[in-house]
Amino acid sequence: MSTVISVIERLRSRIGLPAEPVHALVEAGHLKRFAEAIGDRDPRWVDEAPPTFLVALVPISMHLEEAEEYGKGWLNGGNRFEYFEPVRVGDRITATGKVADVYEKTGSSGSLLFIIFETEYVNQHGRRVAHLRGTAIRR
């Protein structure tokens, strides 16, 4: 039990602290492989990122390794994307993530640990292109 409490406390101590920004180039080949993998043949995605592409650009769940001390597996609870500008091939994106909240819920089937994380995406012109909020669950 003390391990569980310390995992939650350690994760909670990070709430709101921005992680080291990650830089990534939007590459034509990656976009093509992503569109093929989701089975979306719209020719628009040759040059432009489809709605969920940003999750493939940089790892979205930072700092989560230590959460694996809790429970036995991960679940994805949900994702929320806000879009401000299109993302296109050749864009250099800077992604900055943070843990927005950490809490435990106990239900009929046991305890779950919820980790809410947020990522802000800015392009090479310093313009905010998107914001992602995700819920990762340990069960």
Partner 1 sequence: MNVAVGEEIPELVKNPTTRQLVQYAGAQGDFYEIHYDQDFARSVGLPGVILHGLLKAAFLGQLVTDWLGDRGTLKMFEVSYRGIDVPGKPYRCRGRVTKVNGGDVELEVWGEDQDGNRTTIGTANVELS
Q: Among residue numbers 1 through 30, which ones bind partner 1 (CB under 8 A)?
A: 30
User: With contact defined as beta carbons under 8 Å apart, do 11 and 55 qualify?
Assistant: no
Query: Least CB distance from residue 119 to partner 1, whole Å?
Result: 13
Which of residues 83 and 100 has its CB atom nearest to partner 1 in the complex? 83
- The length of the chain in residues reads 139
Q: Among residue numbers 27 through 56, which ones bind partner 1 (CB under 8 A)?
A: 30, 33-34, 36-40, 42, 44, 50-52, 55-56
15: Cβ contacts below 8 Å, ≥ 6 apart: 98, 99, 100, 101, 102
Of residues 77, 105, 124, 128, which one binds partner 1 by CB under 8 A?
77
Per CB under 8 A, does 121 bind partner 1?
no
Secondary-structure breakdown of the chain: helix, strand, coil percentages, each rounded to the nearest 5: 25, 40, 35
